[in-house]
Structure formats: C-alpha cells, structure tokens
C-alpha cells in the first residue's frame, strides 16, 4: 500500500469521524442536560457538523484515493485492517454519493414537514391527515431505491443501507419461518396466560435505588465506567464518542420495575459492543457497529438471553431483595424470573415481550414492502395493519395511534429500518448457540455472577471487528452459517414452553 496516500485518506476519515462524534455528543447533551432554550442553536450546530462531515467524506478526493488504494489492497487478506478499511469505506462512499444532492434535500424537507403532521395525526387518531405525507415518503423511498440500484426488489436497496448484504428474499424466508413458529406459540401462551403473574413488578420501587442497582449491575456485566457513564433521558439510548467514551442513558419508573433495569442492561449491551472495538480501527469507518441489527443483537443478548435467564436471577435476586425488601416480600427468585418473562400480545412494538416482538417487525416489513411495490395503497394501510395484527397476535387495534401511526420511523423517510430489530434477536440466539459449545459451563458462570469469559468471547468474535464484516459475513465466520431463525425459535419454544407449561410436542 502506498503509505502516503493511505495516510491522506486516514487523515480525512479521522476528521470525518471527529465531526460525527462531536455531533453525537451534541445529540447526547440535547437528550440529557441541554436547557430548553438551546434547541435552535443546537439544531444549527448539529446540522453544520453533519453537513461538513458529509461534504468532506463525499469529496472527489476520497473517491480518487479509494480508486488508487483498491489496487494496492487487492492482494491483502480480506480481514486485514487495510483491505477492510478500503472495502467498507468504498461501500459507504458509494452509498453516500449515489443519492443526488437534490434528493437528499427533498428527503430532509419531507421529513421535517411530515413529523409534525404525524404527531398531529396521532393526537387526533386520524390517519388520513398523515396519509399524503406517507405517500410522499413512499415515493421518495422508491426514488432512493432507484438511485442506489438493486437487482431484484426495490426493498433490497433500502435494507442494504442499514444491513449490508441482506436481501429481501433472505428476510422473507426468515420471517415466514418465524411466522410459522411464533403465531401458534403466542396463541398457545395466550391460552395459558394464568401461568405467569407479573404483578410484583408494579409494586413500587424507589427510583434512586433502582438507578444505583442498575448501574452496579451493568458494571458487573462488564460495562466499563472508566470509559462510560449513565445519565437519565426520556428515551434510553447508547452513544459512543470514541473507544474511551461510550455512554448509556436510562429512565426509571417507580411503578414498573422492568424499565430501568432491563433498559440499562439493554443499553449496556450496546455500549459494551462499542467498548470492545479495536483501537486499531479507531477514527476510521471500520469503528462502529457492523449494522443496527448486529448492534441490537448485543443489547438483546444481555437483556434477554442473559438478563432474563434463571441462572442470572439465581445470582442477583438475593441482592435485589436486600435492596427492595418491601416490594419483593414473599416473592422467590423463580417467581421473579417468571414475572420478568411474562409474554402476552400487546399493541405497541417497543413494549412487546420476547415472543411477540418479532411479529410486530414482520408486520412492518410486509407493509413497507407492499407499499413500496405498490401492491398496498397508503390509504389502505390502517385496514391492512389491523387485519394482519388480528391474524398474527389476535388483537383488535382500537385506533390508528396504537396502530399504523405508532412509530416515528415512517414520518422521516426511512424504510428498511425495522428488520434490524428482528435480525438482532435472531443473531443473539445464533451466537448463544455457538457460545454454549465453546463455554460449556456458561450457565454455571452466570449463576455465579461471572461474565468475563462471556464478554471475552463476544469481544474476540464480534466486538473488536467493528464494521469489518457484514452481518452475514460475521455470522458465517463465527457460527459457520448466515443469519438463521432456527436457534432463536428453539430458544423461545424451549424457554416459554417451560414457563407456560406448554405441550412438549411444541418444544
């Protein structure tokens, strides 16, 4: 590799990274500490930073440097830092330069016009207000797909932007498999709803103690507070400004235990991913999550596969009882484990449990595709939503606010985001299946509150690579297979079969 050229590219990429990390801090501050009066200046600043970052990254100079470097790295191993840097930067560069500036502005304008209308439509529970804006957004998504290009289905272009390498066909096959397994499982659980009682979670837990307990717990999992911190925000999130500064936020409700603790575990799962990325890829496009789906796999891994497991509570429950003796009086660890795993069909995706969550995603994936391909008209969306909701989860949707107007995503032009949530769930189980073969006494370790081997495995196999590999590449490398639904299906059938005492036939 021509050293000089590579350094020029690296300097530019470092600058681009610095700008977007600075923007991320401005966003973090906006959600945590910024006084109300700061809104306007903050919007200006973030917009300037992101614009400069985009302009710098999409410069012709970067394209020229990549052209030169692609020959140089052709003989280097696929997973070498240099070859990966050129390959991933090229992918980002092509994606960033394929959208014409006019389309980018139109997308930004459409989003900022649609969002207040979406909010109004929600308040008034009137989808028809939002329909014309969603129609515009569907059209813009089609134009994005056309600009990016695709072989088979327009959705391929969109899903590729967030989950590189995934195809609509791959996802359709996976969702079909999920539907076959989960619709009957959820129905079976609903018939045995009485088996699990979660009223203990609503008995009232002191908020300050919840925050302190959650922070102590995520520290035990391996979230490094020398390189992170926890603050409060309306919507919990995780964000990273570099390998040494990866933060989480949480919220806390006296009246519902799950929010703070499982929210904190979830966000610390995201954060441990970023904390585990190699210094060797810092300040390059390789530093970051392989995809939103892979990122979500880390948060769901810790939240559900670890944090909602019985060995986990065998270890932590005594200290939880010592912290909250009153609300936990008369509840043993197994009852508590059952409570935090209660599964039931619900209207709102972000509140859904492990079993039903993917059905919410499936619904959106299908509807996005149909709108994009014109087989579903926007005006017919609520009807389609409600019919499918009934069919998948057995619930009647009482209004569009809790139905087709539920998510903010469709108000800013961005189809193809939702599948990442399910991809994350599936990856977490696919990784766990592999981990169990490599750390045979994992359950015993978790039961003793020991997470170092587990985190070490994730660091070595997932975290340190950052964006070097696409989701499927990563999974093939680590588990020998691309994304597959089987491990996750087996996991929920086994776990919830036992929890709800379902017929052995199904698990």
Give the C-alpha separation, 435 to 497, whole Å: 22
Which of 365, 432, 21, 429 lies closest to 179, judged by CA? 365
Kindly write out the interface string for residues 199-238 of this chain, putting x where it contacts a copy of itself by CB under 8 A and - elsewhere: -------------------------xxxxxx-x-------
Site map 246..265 versus a copy of itself, x via CB under 8 A: -x------------------
**Residue 37 binds a copy of itself, judged by CB under 8 A:** yes
User: Is 48 or 280 the residue whose CB approaches a copy of itself more closely?
Assistant: 48
Establish if 447 lies at the interface with a copy of itself (CB under 8 A).
Answer: no
- Element at 26 (helix H, strand E): helix 3-32
Tell me the window of 151-159, 244-252, 373-381, 424-432 that interacts with a copy of itself (CB under 8 A). Answer: 244-252
CB contact at 8 A, 332 and 131:
no
Cα gap 450→361, rounded to integer Å: 33
Give dist(CA 378, CA 134) in Å, integer.
7
Closest CA to 420 of 503, 315, 298: 298
Q: Quick check: helix, strand or coil at residue 242? A: coil
C-alpha–C-alpha distance, residues 117 and 62, integer Å: 39
Count how many residues are written for the chain. Answer: 507
The verdict on 116 binding a copy of itself (CB under 8 A) reads no
Q: For residues 214 and 378, which CB has a smaller minimum distance to a copy of itself in the complex?
A: 214
Rg (CA), the chain: 23
In whole angstroms, the minimum distance from the beta carbon of 398 to a copy of itself comes to 38
How many of the other CB atoms lie within 10 Å of CB of 36?
5
Angle, helices 81-98 vs 39-57, to 10°: value is 110
Taking CB under 8 A as the rule, which mask of x and - marks residues 3-32 in contact with a copy of itself? -----------xx--xx-xxx-xx--x---
CB of 16 to a copy of itself, least distance (A): 9
Closer residue to a copy of itself in complex, CB, 42/91: 42
Q: Which one of 4, 40, 60, 75 is in contact with a copy of itself (CB under 8 A)?
A: 40
Q: Catalytic one among 259, 267, 333, 354?
A: 267
Nearest to a copy of itself of 2, 48 (CB atom): 48
Query: How is 449-464 classified by DSSP, letter by letter?
Result: T--HHHHHHHHHHTGG
Closer CB to a copy of itself, 49 or 73, in the complex: 49
As given in the structure block, the two tokens for residue 61 are: 């100079």
> Which residue's CB is nearer to a copy of itself, number 25 or number 321?
25
What is the nearest approach in angstroms of a copy of itself to the Cβ of residue 359?
39
Four-residue CA torsion sign, 495, 355, 310, 191: negative
- Catalytic-residue membership of 267: yes
List residues binding a copy of itself (CB under 8 A): 14-15, 18-19, 21-23, 25-26, 29, 33-42, 44-45, 48-49, 52, 224-229, 231, 241-245, 247, 282-283
Hey, which residues are catalytic here? 267
């Amino acid at each position: 590799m021509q050293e000089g050229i590579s350094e020029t590219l690296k300097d530019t990429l470092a600058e681009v990274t610095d700008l977007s990390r600075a923007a991320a801090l401005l966003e973090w501050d906006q959600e945590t500490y910024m006084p109300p009066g700061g809104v306007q200046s903050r919007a200006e600043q973030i917009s300037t930073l992101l614009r400069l970052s985009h302009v710098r990254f999409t410069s012709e100079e970067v394209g020229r440097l990549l052209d030169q470097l692609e020959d140089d790295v052709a003989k280097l191993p696929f997973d070498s830092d240099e070859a990966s840097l050129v390959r991933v930067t090229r992918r980002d560069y092509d994606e960033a330069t394929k959208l014409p500036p006019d389309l980018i502005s139109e997308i930004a304008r459409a989003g900022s016009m649609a969002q207040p209308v979406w909010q109004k439509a929600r308040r008034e529970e009137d989808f028809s207000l939002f329909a014309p804006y969603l129609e515009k957004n569907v059209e813009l998504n089609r134009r994005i797909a056309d600009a990016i290009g695709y072989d088979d289905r327009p959705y391929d272009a969109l899903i590729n932007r967030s989950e590189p390498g995934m195809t609509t066909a791959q996802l359709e096959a996976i969702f079909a498999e999920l539907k076959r397994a989960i619709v009957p499982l959820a129905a079976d659980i609903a018939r045995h709803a009485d088996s699990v009682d979660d009223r203990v979670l609503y008995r009232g837990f002191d908020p300050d103690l919840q925050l302190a307990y959650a922070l102590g717990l995520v520290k035990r999992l391996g979230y490094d507070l020398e390189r992170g911190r926890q603050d409060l925000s309306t919507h919990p999130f995780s964000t990273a400004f570099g390998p040494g500064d990866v933060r989480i936020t949480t919220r806390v409700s006296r009246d519902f235990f799950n929010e703070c603790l499982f929210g904190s575990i979830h966000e610390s799962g995201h954060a441990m991913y970023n904390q585990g990325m190699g210094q060797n890829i810092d300040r390059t496009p390789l530093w970051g999550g392989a995809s939103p789906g892979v990122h979500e796999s880390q948060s769901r891994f810790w939240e559900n596969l670890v944090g909602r497991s019985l060995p986990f509570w065998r270890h932590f429950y005594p200290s939880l009882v010592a912290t909250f003796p009153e609300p936990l009086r008369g509840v043993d660890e197994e009852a508590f484990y059952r409570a935090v795993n209660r599964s039931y069909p619900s209207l709102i995706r972000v509140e859904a449990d492990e079993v039903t969550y993917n059905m919410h995603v499936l619904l959106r994936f299908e509807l996005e595709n149909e709108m994009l391909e014109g087989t579903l008209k926007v005006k017919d969306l609520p009807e389609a939503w409600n019919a499918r909701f009934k069919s998948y989860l057995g619930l009647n949707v009482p209004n569009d606010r809790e139905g087709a107007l539920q998510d903010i995503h469709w108000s800013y032009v961005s189809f193809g985001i939702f599948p990442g949530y399910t991809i994350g769930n599936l990856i977490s189980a696919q990784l766990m299946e592999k981990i169990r073969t490599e750390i045979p006494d994992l359950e015993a370790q978790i039961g003793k509150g020991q997470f170092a081997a587990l985190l070490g495995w994730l660091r070595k196999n997932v975290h340190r690579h950052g964006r070097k590999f696409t989701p499927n590449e990563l999974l093939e490398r680590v588990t020998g297979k691309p994304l597959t639904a089987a491990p996750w299906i087996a996991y929920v059938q086994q776990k919830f079969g036992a929890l709800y005492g379902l017929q052995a036939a199904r698990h």
